[in-house]
Structure 1
Amino acid sequence: MSQDSEGFWLFSPILFHWLLSLTFSFRIIMKRRNIGATLAWVSVMLLLPYVGVGVYLLLGEMRLGKRRERRIRQLIDPYKQWIQSLSEGYQVDWTNAPDAAKYLDRLAARSEGTPTLPGNSLELLDDCEGVLRAIIEDINRTEETLYMEFYIWHNGGVADEVLEAVIKARRRGVITRVLLDSVGSKDFLKSANCKRARKAGVEIVEALPAGIFRAIFRRQDLRLHRKIVLIDGHTAYTGSLNLVDARYFKQDAGVGQWVDLMVRVQGPAVEVLATTFLADWDVETEGRQIDLNEDTGVVRQEAKGNAMVQVVPSGPGFYPDAIYQLLLTTIYSAREELIITTPYFVPDDALHTALRTAAARGVEVTIILPAHNDSWLVRYASRSHYDSLLKAGVRIMRFNAGLLHAKTISVDKEFCLVGSVNFDMRSVWLNHEVTLFVYNHAFCDHLCYQQRQYILQSEELQASDWAQRPKQERILENIVRLASPLL
């Protein structure tokens, strides 16, 4: 073999890597996604021979799968019409509401069609066992329908008692439907408890099934992250708590018990939560077990309180960028005080700038984060934002009483957000989430009180102390930050 041939075969893998990487880099550029994510993916392509292309094919594009995309196209118009029709007969009084609430209402209504509905009764529940006990009490009273949707169902403790209540409800004739994420609930779905519930007649559906073969056709990290319970179509729970007993969940992670918030809802907003569940169920079952106009378990609601609530579902397919726009608008609407709690804090440039700008214009911005996180990647990506935020005057509180998992935002003590959305790009763009936008002073007061309880259990991060951290920590933070658009 000649030297020229030997040289060609020696360098051909390198040439092929560059050709492949440049081809996919061009594809990424033409997708016109945000610049941070584009540069991050191009870097992955060029720096990781062949592996970068493989990772991109698995995780780089919003591939929902042909069947799922087809089903969503079939559902999106009828479900949006149904949601929009919910506002008929309800009169929203914006007299005492802040201007920002009106802007958010208009933005959400135009982006995804969900209206603000008056007449809701809201109860903020901040104790894990107390939440599960309340759910059990409501399940024991249910007569017709019980719908549940969670990212994680984990065996152990009071969670097992919830399952017993579900099985008993089914045995007395209640229609029971449970939708669980394939990845988050994989252990439960394989468990004897799940088999026993199915044998009793409980309909348990695995959402977004994951696997090596499926990765060829659909992106595997698009997850169902909502937490919803619906009882007889008139009572609902939603928030950040998975169906887990915190005393038995991830006790070997070294972060303490998880700390969550849930909201018990009665009133017209329950209809939107029910519609959200039904849309998810319809996609997973292709409508085989539910008819949009029959057997839905959704009943017309009477006023139960005085809270105005806008339920905002988000996620790829139905509402791809609604929550992102609403989060930005929420931050920019703050005039005096902005308090955020989130377990995973990896904002993109726009959200990061919005927080710094709020602090610079005199808003007291406080971000409450768990002192210890169960993801080291997120931990270091999050810390890479601290320097500039602290310099801008943002207060960063590190919660020491467990892994603070509550996802909340309060603005000027006037309105607030509670739901399942984390302050990271995965939650904003990739996961199916749900958030309550609450325009009610009394409920906001309750949430602000709870946020201040979290602050009392936290230690404020001082800029002078943070500047003294080891140099190797800074290097690692900045390296991991390069991948933050992908987290």
Structure 2
Amino acid sequence: MDKVYHFLTIASLVLYWILVAGVTLRVVLKRRAVSVSLAWLMVIYIVPIVGVACYFLFGELNLGRKRAERAKQMFTPFGDWFRQLNHCQAHLPAQVGSPIHKIDELCNNRMGIPALSGNTLSLQASPDEILRSIIKDIESAQTSIKMVFYIWHPGGLADSVASALIQASKRGVEVKVLLDSAGSPRFFRSHWNSMMKDAGIHVVQALEVSPWRIFLRRLDLRQHRKIIVIDESIAYTGSMNMVDPAHFKQCAGVGQWVDIMVRVTGPTVNVLSAIHGWDWEVETGDRILPQLPECQIDDSEAQHPVQVVPSGPGMPEHMILQVLSIAINQSNKSVRITTPYFVPSADLLEILKMTAQRGVNVELIIPHINDSIMVKWASKAFYTELLEAGVKIYEFHGGLLHTKSVVIDEEFCLVGTVNIDMRSLWLNFEVTLAVDDVKFTTELSQLQQSYIDNSYCVDLENWNKRGLPARFFERLFYLFNPLL
């Protein structure tokens, strides 16, 4: 019997060695940032077995065979639709400011999506204002309502939105709602799910979480977009999920979530509708290409060009990261960023440091208390080198600051669903708007300033006095940044 145990022990060690060696080769041979590969190797070696399992679950961008094939087939028809926008009167390259012009060139060359003028933008920063505005527009809907959200959490005014959708469906409006499976489990267990379906609303669960699928596609790949399109004439996007903050995660100890949404009218609405159509087809196989915008442009009015920048599996890789890099590198005076989760790639970290070192005022606003312990400590691992480079870091004390925004030189801005972390910039389905509108940008910058007024500025001298336990946790969780 001892010989059997000895043989099984040796066999298990050999098999484990072969497994680790195989995974190591796969990590090394994959084309990705060296820092990411090294981080994965450290996770695999420091946390045996668990590290290997984590790599199989989270290590590679795997949409799943059916969805991947569907996304590949979709690229041509959607690309053809996007390229037709270049012949629309709303595409006015000469009217687009130089920062957006370069972003327009990138998005146009990589995906066929041009920046479009003739939009109106309304910044909404109060949860009550956002939800009541959405309800009002739903109540006025005549033909269609399309939604995609990461989280739908029943309670408060979110229930009023659901009720408004049910009433809209009953009066003949076609309603399509796409919700992420991992982000909205409470909704799918609630009575609202069945009530909405019974009313004729098409409710679809995106990227369904199931123990049978964990090795068929990457488990933490999520549908993170937030888009509403009503009658192909009004759209919303931004950082806020379909939740009422007063009824959401009240026991998490982070305070209420602080978010924004942008209400849009004009030709950009049709582009956001096409992004919803992309997501709908990836999940269901049903193609819904929206109508092309009519693009009646009044030359006497400000044009407000907006570039829609989507990202996610099946779309050109790293497009939002490239847009963010272009925007920051073009700054001359200031860069102000708000993000709830800050775990940048090595390249983005160097861009931020270099920008501050060339004399640009770089400000980073993040929540003091985060709902993710791992992200909280991993974020702090970057503080020292950022502060030494001259980046100003503010920790917001008024709740969980969930707004995702970037303001450059107070002249143009980026706003949408994108966090400054590896998952948002490399993995998830995301969308952001690049807005060349000084008035809107000024309004967003003033909102960011209100966040700073309710924040603590991290001082390098005091930061360097933090204790050894804090330094240990920073470095420990920094090792897991590929998972964050």
Question: Per the shorter chain, which TM-score range?
Answer: over 0.9
Tell me the amino acid that sits aligned with residue 108 of structure 2.
A
Kindly indicate whether the alpha-carbon contact (under 8 Å) linking 2:336 and 2:364 is maintained by their aligned counterparts in 1: yes
Q: TM-score, normalised by structure 1?
A: 0.95
Aligned pairs, number: 481
Pick the aligned partner of 1:300 from 291, 294, 297: 294
**Equivalent residue, structure 2, for 1:196:** 195
Q: Deviations over 1:409-458 (max 9, x none)?
A: 00011110000000000111111001000011111111111111111111
Structure 2 residue 349 is the aligned partner of structure 1 residue 352: yes
Q: Where do residues 348-387 of structure 1 align in structure 2 (5 Å cutoff)? A: 348-387=345-384
- Cα distance, 1:93 vs. partner? 4.8
* Aligned counterpart, 1:152: 151
Q: Which amino acid aligns with 1:453?
A: S
Instruction: Identify the residue that residue 434 of structure 1 maps to in structure 2.
Output: 431
Instruction: Name the SS of the counterpart of 1:54 in structure 2.
Output: helix
What is the distance in 1 between the residues matched to 2:315 and 2:104?
Answer: 18
1:255 and 1:403 in contact (8 A); partners too: yes
3-state DSSP of counterpart to 2:204 = strand
Q: Structure 1 pair 454/303, CA: closer, same or farther in 2 (3 Å)?
A: farther
Please give the per-residue CA displacement for 1:196-253, whole angstroms capped at 9, x wherever unaligned.
Answer: 1111111101011111101121111110000011110000000000000010111111
Q: 8 Å contact 1:176–1:203 — kept in the other structure?
A: yes
Judging changes above 3 Å, is the alpha-carbon distance between structure 1 residues 251 and 302 closer, same or farther for their aligned structure 2 residues?
farther
Q: Note the C-alpha offset of 1:12.
A: 3.5
Cα distance per residue 1:268-324 (max 9 Å; x no partner): 11111000001111111111xx454xxx46653444862100001111222321112
1:422 aligns with 2:419: yes
What is the Cα deviation at residue 327 of structure 1? 1.5
1:329 matches 2:326: yes
1:219 and 2:254 correspond: no
Pick one of 463, 466, 470 that aligns with 2:460. Answer: 463
CA positional deviation for 1:45: 2.4
Contact 1:268 1:303 in 2 (8 A): no
Partner Cα separation in structure 2 for residue 2 and residue 146 of structure 1: 69
1:94 Cα deviation (Å)? 5.3
Q: Report the identity percentage.
A: 42
Q: Partners of 2:348 and 2:443 in 1: how far apart?
A: 26
Contact 1:98 1:414 in 2 (8 A): no
Distance 1:7 1:245 in 2: 59
Do the aligned partners of 2:85 and 2:292 also contact (CA within 8 Å) in 1? no
How many angstroms apart in 1 are the aligned matches of 2:53 and 2:472?
27
Partners in 1 of 2:93 and 2:436 — Cα distance? Answer: 9
Q: Give a deviation string over 1:174-211, Cα, whole Å, max 9, x none.
A: 00110100110111012111111111111101011111
User: Contact 1:271/1:300 (CA < 8 Å) preserved in 2?
Assistant: no
In 1, Cα distance between equivalents of 2:473 and 2:50? 22
CA distance in 2, matches of 1:335, 1:200: 53
CA deviations over 1:32-54 (Å, ceiling 9, x no partner): 21111111222222333333222
Alpha-carbon distance in structure 1 between the residues aligned to 2:2 and 2:345: 53
> How big is each residue's C-alpha offset from its partner over 1:336-387, in whole Å with a ceiling of 9 and x where there is no partner?
1000000000001111111010000000000000111000000000000000
State the partner residue of 2:175: 176
| 1:123-153 residue CA offsets vs partner (Å, 9 max, x unmatched) | 0000111100000000010000011110001
Describe the SS at the equivalent of 1:265.
strand
Deviations along 1:27-77, one digit per CA (max 9) or x if unpaired, are 111112111111122222233333322221111111111110111111111
SS at match of 2:450: helix
Separation of aligned partners in 2, 1:6 and 1:438: 67
**Residues of 1 paired with 2:123 and 2:390: CA distance?**
30
Distance 1:42 1:57 in 2: 13
Q: Which amino acid aligns with 2:177?
A: V
Q: 1:181 to 1:91 in 2, by over 3 A?
A: closer
Change in Cα spacing, 1:278 to 1:2, as seen in structure 2 (3 Å) is closer
CA distance in 1, matches of 2:273, 2:414: 19
Structure 1 outlier segments of 4+, above 6 Å: none
What 5-or-longer segments of structure 1 have no aligned partner?
Answer: none
Q: Distance in 1 between matches of 2:10 and 2:259?
A: 55
Match of 1:141 in 2: 140
Distance 1:315 1:2, change over 3 A: closer
Q: Distance in 1 between matches of 2:457 and 2:435?
A: 28
Once superposed, what is the RMSD of the aligned Cα atoms?
1.7
Q: Distance in 2 between matches of 1:422 and 1:96?
A: 30
SS in 2 for 1:184: coil
- Structure 1 residues 128 and 192, CA, compared in 2 at 3 Å: closer, same or farther? same
Classify the secondary structure of the residue corresponding to 1:247: helix
CA displacement at 1:331 relative to structure 2: 1.6
Q: Which residue of 1 aligns with 2:207?
A: 208
Q: CA–CA distance in 1 between the matches of 2:191 and 2:331?
A: 49
